[in-house]
Every structure is written in C-alpha cells, then in structure tokens.
Chain A
Amino acid sequence: MSIEVKDLSFRYGKIVALDGVSMRLGEGAVGLLGPNGAGKSTLLRILLGFLVPEHGEGRVLEYDIRRDRAAIRRSVGYMPESDCFVAGMDAVSFTAYFGELSGMPRREAMKRAHEVLFYVGLGEARYRLLDTYSAGMKQRLKLAQALVHDPRILFLDEPTSNLDPTGRAEVLELIRDIATKNSVQVILSSHILDDIESVCDSVVILNKGRLAAEGRMEDLRAIHYSLYEIRVKGDEESFRRALGEAGCRVDETEDRLLKVYLPEGADPMDVFRAAARTGVQMRSFVKSRTSLEDLFAGVVGVD
C-alpha cells in the first residue's frame, strides 16, 4: 500500500474537517472526490505534514506522517489548488529552484526544469516572468514544479480549476500520461466528477469529513441500486413517504425531478404501486445511467 491512514481526525476550531477517516490506497491513479468542504484538501495537507492530525495515524509509502515529513516531501510532488508562484522569477528558474529545494543538484535541477516545462507545454514561455502568466499557464507551471524532482507520488489538488475546456482537456491528458507510468502514483483531488472518471482507476469519496465510499472504479460502478428519474403530479409528499417505507431513497433536484434509488433486488413496479396507492400521476419514469455521478449522488446526496 502506498498510502494508509487509520482513524484520521482533524478540526479547524469547531469545524470538523476529517472525522475518523481510514483507508488504504494501492497502485494506480486514485481520485479523491467530494463536494467542497468534504475534507479532501485537508487530507492531502495532513499527508504532506502541513497539518498535524488530532487523532489517528498514517503512512505515505513507508514513511510515518508524523515523524518522517521530510522523507515524505522528498518522495511526493504537490500541486496546490490555489495559484502560487515566486514573484520576479521566470518559469525555468522557478522550476529549477524548487527542484533544488527538493534535493536535486543545481545543474541537474536546471536541466530537468527545461524538460518538464516542455513536457507540460510551457517550453516556449519558459523564460517569461511568472507575473505575466495566464491562469492556465500558472496551472501547468504548478504541475511542472510538482514533477521536477520525479516524485513517486503526485498529489494534485483540483488541477483543472480555472481552466478553459481546452486547457482542462490538455492538463487531464498530461495527468493521464503520468498516471500510466507505473512508478508514479497520482492522487487527484477534485469535485469535478468527469476529471476523476477520465483519469482514475479507483476512487475515495469523502463527505463532511467522513469516508463515504472507497474502491476500484469498476467495482463502485457496479449497481448496488437502481436509479430512476421520475416526475409526478399530485401529493408528492405522500408519494415520497410511501417510497421511503419501501426502502427507497428519494432526492429532489431544483427542477422538481425526483431521483429514486431502489435498493438491490427491489422491483421497479414498487414505484408505480406507491404512486397508485398515494394517488399521484406518474408523468415521467426514466432509468438513469449508472455512473460515478450516480454513485456520488448516492453517497453524498443530490447537489
């Protein structure tokens, strides 16, 4: 296991950010999914040693998160969510600088900086001052500095935020390419389901600081429930109550669409029976495709 945490808890004052999270992450690209405030960034920051957990323990590679912070940081590349750079520097000096701070010899760091900047698509702009970079370029630059020392694990915190669709596709392609190298494990934290779905082999879903689901993508995609999207006319409250009594979970979207999660083995006709019983008129009944979005909605709730 490359990352293992046990009963990890952390709070910002009275706000609980992580509440007894335990998980084991193996090889391949892993998506860290959850709505804003779920605890994804806090988890990454604890793994990097920026924050000290209140309870629990953890290991990154073979290193303890409390004791071996320097060793972890030497082995990990971190791409933060927010824009960050050193003013007055150009991209190549900046990337080489952080390579050097990771422990690379100065000349090697400079050579490698050129390579990774070409790799992330900033080769032509590598001598430009960072203050003049666009949001997309800064995003690529953050990836370059995370890669410069050739880490064994790459922590990417919302890597596609602030990017236009083209830039997003290009950055995801880079991450996919890195993730295909067996020796670099990618941990991608995002609230964008498509990003996780297109890059990751397995996913960890956090919600309100707790572990909501964890596993390989294909296993999680396997249907443990059926999802139906329904529109009804009539006494909606009674209908929802009847579905609840039948063991179904019902969420309502903003446009009054009911998302009904039928438990494994339940008969879809139960929905019609509940409608008949409560006297509501079924206007639409569509079986939804099962995807990560459904899983996410199933464990986190409809946004």
Chain B
Amino acid sequence: MAVIRERGYEHWDGRLTERRFPWWPIARTGVRLAFRKKGFKFAFAGAYIPSFVALGGLYVSERLDDFKALVQSNRALIKIDPAYFADFYTNGAFLFMLVLVLAFGAAGLVAEDLKHSALQLYFARPLSRKDYVSGKLAVVAFFVLALTALPGLILIAFKLIFAGSFAFLAQYPWLPFSVLGYGALLTLFFGGYVMLVSALSRNTRYVIVLLFGSFYFSAVLAEIVRGIFRTPYAMLFSLPADVRQVGAALFGAKLPQDVSPILSFLVLAGICALAVAVLVRKVRGVEVIK
C-alpha cells in the first residue's frame, strides 16, 4: 500500500452548517445500502405482487361483463369498497412480503452499527440519539410507506380512472385518509418492532430470524392460548392478528376478532414503547457496563 501524498495536510475552506434535519443523510444512506444488498431488489419488487393482484381485481370489477365466467361464483369478492382495501392490506401474503422486505432491508440498521462499533462515529458528530434513531426509523418508514400508502393511493387513483368518475371517492371520501392512517400505523409499529429487534443483537442473521420468528410465533402462541383458555382475548398475543384488527377498524371493515381494536392498538403501541426503552439503553456513543 503505497502512500500517495505529494502535499501535506490541507484545510477545507468551506463552512460547516447546522442541518435542519440532521437525520436525513442517515435515512438516505440506509435506503441506498439496502438496495445494494444481494437479492433485496427482487424482494422489494416481489412485495408489489399483492398490489398488482389488487389492481387486477379493480380492473375486473369495472369490466364485470367481460369477466362473467371468472366472477360468476363469487361476485362479492370483486366488490370494491373499503373492505376490499382492508383485505388487501391485511392478507397474509401482503404482511409476509412486508416483513420480508423489512427483514432483508432494515434488520441490520442498528445491529450492524453495534457489530462494527459505528455508533461512536455517529455520536462524534453533532448528532443526538433522537437524530440517529429518526434517521434509521425513516429507512423503515420509506419501505413501509412505499409498500402500503403508495400502492393504496395508486389503487384509489386507478379505481377512479377505470370507473371514469369520482363516484367512488364521493361515496368513501375518508378512504385515502384510511390508507394514509394505516400506512402511518404500520410505519410506527414496524419502525418500533424492527428497531427493537435490531438493537437486541449484533448479528443481522439472528435479527432476521428473530423478526420473522417473533412475528409469526406470536400467532402460533395466540392460537395455543386460545385453545387452552377459549377466550378471544388470546388473539391479542398475535402480532399479525393485532395488525389485521386495527387495519380492519381503520377501514371500517368487519373486525376479524371479537376484541376491541383499541386493545390491539395498545399491544402494538406497547411494542413501540418497549423499543424506545431498549433503544435508550443500547444506542449510545460508548457502551458503558456498570
């Protein structure tokens, strides 16, 4: 490794500025690094498959006469209303793809920094813990909103285009807000959940396993508890069920569980509170073991 240094140390003649959003470079870099990972682009693209299926459903619903044979048996499936959006957002395939994208794109957000002792480099800069966490959270927000709010709004737009009128929007004027609200809710929940799990280990592979495992194991656990105690409240243990419950409530659709969606919301909020507690402990410029 030859030293290429014809001149001595030279000063930079610019001026350092105080950023309005100090977390912005962290967010931008986090998204860019995720797309550099092998296979992530395919996972991200694949996560739009449920959106394309929903788009197909929208098209078919406006061309029922052309697809008589297809929809003869179950016309209700192709009825486009808020429940259709609730189904789209809470179906198993959609949630699986969302968790998959977050597992491969965001699992290492904190874990990699812990593993490579990068936190001290961040905090040697004029950054607060809030800035650091906001930057990392923005990465999760990007992926969640790109897979929830964005396709949801596009689906509404396509519904209007296919229908050739604003009647649908006039009938459900709150639907775009439900889409945005659900996107915001998933952003907060998955932001907290991913950051929590990512801060628990220095090994990204463990984090990926933990992300998937705890999300889906909670559903198994809930079924076991329900089987033993025969109470609908057991489903509160299931994170996918809680997401579905709150999603259905936001879209004004029939609730899949016989419990209050507020309780499900509180469970999801509890995960976020736990994430804050863990992040306060783990995200520091220097690891202090007392």
CB of B9 within 8 A of CB of A74, answer: no
**B230 beta carbon closer than 8 Å to chain A:** no
**B121's contact among A76, A80, A122, by CB below 8 Å, is which?**
A80
CB of A149 within 8 A of CB of B120, answer: no
CB of B116 within 8 A of CB of A102, answer: no
In the bound complex, residues from chain B placing their C-beta under 8 Å from that of A225 are none
Binary flags per residue of A174-201, CB closer than 8 Å to B gives 1, else 0: 1001101101100000000000000000
**A297 beta carbon closer than 8 Å to chain B:** no
In the bound complex, residues from chain A placing their C-beta under 8 Å from that of B9 are 119, 147, 174, 177-178, 181, 184
**Residue from A45, A76, A106 with most neighbouring chain B CB atoms (10 Å):** A45
Interface residues in B108-137 (C-beta closer than 8 Å to A): 108, 112-113, 115-118, 120-128
B121 to A, closest residue via Cβ? A84
Which of B25-33, B53-61, B90-98, B256-264 participates in binding chain A? Answer: B25-33
CB of A121 within 8 A of CB of B16, answer: no
Interface residues in A125-148 (C-beta closer than 8 Å to B): 125, 136-137, 145-147
A121 to B, closest residue via Cβ? B3
**A100 beta carbon closer than 8 Å to chain B:** yes
**A48's contact among B11, B16, B29, B285, by CB below 8 Å, is which?**
B285
A48 to B, closest residue via Cβ? B124
Interface residues in B67-121 (C-beta closer than 8 Å to A): 108, 112-113, 115-118, 120-121
CB of A183 within 8 A of CB of B290, answer: no
CB of A121 within 8 A of CB of B285, answer: no
**Cα(A150)–Cα(B9), bound, Å:** 10
B8 to A, closest residue via Cβ? A177
Interface residues in B276-290 (C-beta closer than 8 Å to A): 284-286, 288-290
**A88's contact among B5, B11, B36, by CB below 8 Å, is which?**
B36
CB of A84 within 8 A of CB of B11, answer: no
**Cα(A88)–Cα(B7), bound, Å:** 30
**B116's contact among A84, A93, A100, A119, by CB below 8 Å, is which?**
A84
Closest Cβ of chain A to B6, distance in Å, is 9
**Cα(A156)–Cα(B167), bound, Å:** 67
Query: Taking beta carbons and an 8 Å cutoff, which residues of B are in contact with A?
Result: 1-5, 7-12, 14, 16-19, 22, 25-26, 29, 33, 36-37, 108, 112-113, 115-118, 120-128, 284-286, 288-290
In the bound complex, residues from chain B placing their C-beta under 8 Å from that of A74 are 16, 125-126
In the bound complex, residues from chain B placing their C-beta under 8 Å from that of A84 are 116-118, 120-121
A50/B4 contact (C-beta < 8 A), A74-B16, A84-B120, A85-B116 known: no
**A257 beta carbon closer than 8 Å to chain B:** no
**B124's contact among A51, A73, A121, A177, by CB below 8 Å, is which?**
A73
**A20 beta carbon closer than 8 Å to chain B:** no
**Cα(A293)–Cα(B14), bound, Å:** 42
B19 to A, closest residue via Cβ? A103
In the bound complex, residues from chain B placing their C-beta under 8 Å from that of A103 are 16-19, 126
CB of B5 within 8 A of CB of A121, answer: yes
Closest Cβ of chain B to A41, distance in Å, is 8
Query: Taking beta carbons and an 8 Å cutoff, which residues of A are in contact with B?
Result: 12-13, 45, 48-51, 69-71, 73-74, 76-78, 80, 82-89, 93, 97-98, 100-106, 108, 112, 115, 118-119, 121-125, 136-137, 145-147, 149-150, 170, 174, 177-178, 180-181, 183-184
B12 to A, closest residue via Cβ? A150
**Cα(A172)–Cα(B36), bound, Å:** 36
Closest Cβ of chain B to A215, distance in Å, is 27
A73/B121 contact (C-beta < 8 A), A118-B4, A149-B12 known: no
Given A85-B116, A118-B5, A181-B11: 5 more A-B contacts, CB < 8 Å: A73-B126, A84-B118, A84-B120, A87-B116, A102-B16
A79 to B, closest residue via Cβ? B124
A13/B117 contact (C-beta < 8 A), A98-B125, A108-B14 known: no
CB of B116 within 8 A of CB of A105, answer: no
B22 to A, closest residue via Cβ? A101
CB of B117 within 8 A of CB of A97, answer: no
**Cα(A163)–Cα(B35), bound, Å:** 34
**Cα(A84)–Cα(B125), bound, Å:** 14
